[in-house]
Amino acid sequence: MSSATTSHDVPDADFADAVLHARNVVAAQLRHLSPGLDVGDIDRYQPLSAEVGADIDDLTALIQAVRDATGIALPARLVDEHTSLEDLARALATRQRQRRPARPFDGAPTVTP
């Protein structure tokens, strides 16, 4: 018997791909905001405050840059001293998934506007 997968469970392949893409988007914005930063050295599970010395203003600027790049606003409550690169990537992937239209069931007619 299968059960639905949430972002808190082991991710399905589509969500894993979305997180990977979102991670790349967040990393690109980090590089843009801090050109000398070697994003590849960041432990994505550790707080950005510890990894790169990011404070609340830096994290707020980062989520604004992500919004400018993607059109997706991440929640302000996500920004605190514990926020990691992975937190931001998973939040972005979740928001992207919520905005994506649902796929029709096999055999269901597809309506195109």
Q: What is the pTM of this model?
A: 0.76
Domain 13-99 coded CATH 1.10.1200.10: yes
In eight-state DSSP terms, residue 108 is P
Q: Give pLDDT tens digits for 55-113.
A: 999 999 999 999 999 999 998 898 999 999 999 999 999 998 887 655 554 544 445 55
Sequence-separated contacts (24+) of 67-73 with Cβ below 8 Å: 69/25, 69/28, 69/29, 70/25, 70/96, 72/96, 72/99
Q: What is the pLDDT of residues 14-55, one digit of tens each?
A: 899 999 999 999 999 999 999 888 999 999 999 999 999 999
Checking phi first, is residue 23 left (phi over 0); if not, alpha (psi -120 to 50) or beta? alpha
Segments making up each domain of the chain, as ranges: 13-99
